Amino acid sequence: MAHTFIIVLVIATSISGLLWCIMISRRIINKDKEQIIQKPVNNVITISYKLQSWMKSIASIFPVLFLVFIVRAFGYEPFQIPSGSMMPTLLAGDFILVQKYAYGLKNPITQHTLIQTGHPHRGDVVVFKYPKDTSQDYIKRVIGLPGDLVSYDLLSKQLSIQPDFMNVKNCKRLLKVTYSHTNIDSQKFIKSNQDSLNDNINQEYIQALEPEGNRPVTRVEMLDSVKHLILLLNGEQKDFELKAKNGILHQKISWLVPENMYFMMGDNRDNSSDSRYWGFVPENNLVGKATAIWMSFDKKEGKFPTGLRLGRIGIIH
């Protein structure tokens, strides 16, 4: 849908711009405006007059379309959060602004980088083209940079990162990743989390838990210097050790991030389709950095909004 909109915007801007140039050139050649578009006598409206009036109307909106195109293609783009994979940072119904120029000025249609302006940092919340279907936009948090060895313990639900792993001098260096408790009430996420369980990627994992243990728990994750909240299903390590069945949960999985690739994860760690399941995100697929929530509707996934959440408007962490 987003790709279709930018194509339509490019076509509309190009057509109106062409007509705008034609009208300007005619005004230069014919200084007397009445000679360009002159009303017929006796109220007889000719086809020529209709056509010129129509062209003038389209040409008049070119400056507005051009401004919208520049802002939309290279500045900021609005996105709607459709699912709960980024809870508690982002909820279904949040409308966010994405900074398009954060990681380079790109061709809005081909995504080819025209001017490099920066690279993602660990902890950035990023919108990108889904590697397996670039017509879809995904939003996740950057966990691993090129060259990182990212490890995830499925029992303790904790990350460990070794930056620049292939460098012999740095291969044993660990990035500081810490976890702490929070006093945020996780009960409000229970229903939202259940409503968003629609991709079935974690069904074996969920079946490994007793029904009463399947409850959201919020934690504070400090990833290098970026502090943010994550959502876990019953995040107590002792519970997972008791309830893991028949090897369904392997204790630790590691990924070595290739050059020009990024490892992404959702903040809703047990209900997110991310790099753990479908692989890395190429740098060319990056759309921009999510910076702020500008509007939020109280809604369930796939349902109509029932109200506003004005308290959620603000900067994204």
- Say if residue 93 is in the same domain as residue 185: yes
Tell me: the pLDDT tens digits for 245-287?
445 555 789 999 999 999 999 999 999 999 999 999 999 999 9
22 in any annotated domain: yes
Which of these, 82, 81, 84, lies nearest to 233 by C-alpha position?
Answer: 84
What residue type is 133 in one-letter code?
Answer: D
312 in any annotated domain: no
DSSP state letters, 258-280: PTTEEEEE-SBTTS--SHHHH--
> Is 16's pLDDT higher than 80?
yes
Average pLDDT over residues 34-60: 64
- Say if residue 56 is in the same domain as residue 158: no
Domain count, the chain: 2
DSSP state letters, 28-87: HH---HHHHS-PPGGG---HHHHHHHHHHHHHHTHHHHHHHHHIIIIIEEEEE--SSTTT
pLDDT of residue 222: 94
- Give the structural domain span for 18: 2-60
164 in any annotated domain: yes
Q: Residues 149, 136: contact at Cβ < 8 Å?
A: no
- Residue recorded with tokens 């691993």: 144
Average pLDDT over residues 117-122: 94
| Pairing label, strands 137-144, 125-129 | antiparallel
Which of these, 62, 72, 70, lies nearest to 13 by C-alpha position?
Answer: 62
Q: What are the helix (H) ranges across the chain?
A: 2-29, 33-36, 47-60, 62-70, 190-195, 203-207, 237-243, 275-278
Read off the tokens for 182: 């929070």
284 in any annotated domain: yes
Tell me: the pLDDT tens digits for 140-193?
999 999 999 999 998 888 999 999 888 877 667 889 899 998 877 666 665 555
- Say if residue 42 is in the same domain as residue 133: no
Report the number of secondary-structure helices (H) and strands (E) in the chain.
Answer: 8, 17
| Separation of alpha carbons 65 and 188, rounded Å | 42
Tell me: the pLDDT tens digits for 210-227?
444 557 889 999 998 899
Q: Residues 100, 73: contact at Cβ < 8 Å?
A: yes
Higher-pLDDT residue of 138, 20: 138
For residue 141, give the CATH number of its domain: 2.10.109.10
Average pLDDT over residues 186-209: 51
| Separation of alpha carbons 78 and 99, rounded Å | 9
202 in any annotated domain: yes
Give the relative orientation of helices 2-29 and 62-70 as an angle to the nearest 10 degrees. 140
Average pLDDT over residues 76-101: 92
- Say if residue 27 is in the same domain as residue 159: no
pLDDT of residue 212: 47
Tell me: the pLDDT tens digits for 91-110?
999 999 999 999 999 888 88
- Say if residue 253 is in the same domain as residue 134: yes
308 in any annotated domain: no
> Is 310's pLDDT higher than 80?
yes
> Is 205's pLDDT higher than 50?
no
Banded pLDDT at 201 (limits 50, 70, 90): very low
Task: Give the burial string for 123-151 (b: 16+ CB within 10 Å, else e).
Answer: bbbbbbbebeeeeebbbbbbbbbbbbbbb
- Say if residue 165 is in the same domain as residue 139: yes
- Positions annotated as catalytic residues are 85, 140
Tell me: the pLDDT tens digits for 223-255?
988 999 999 986 554 444 444 444 555 578 999
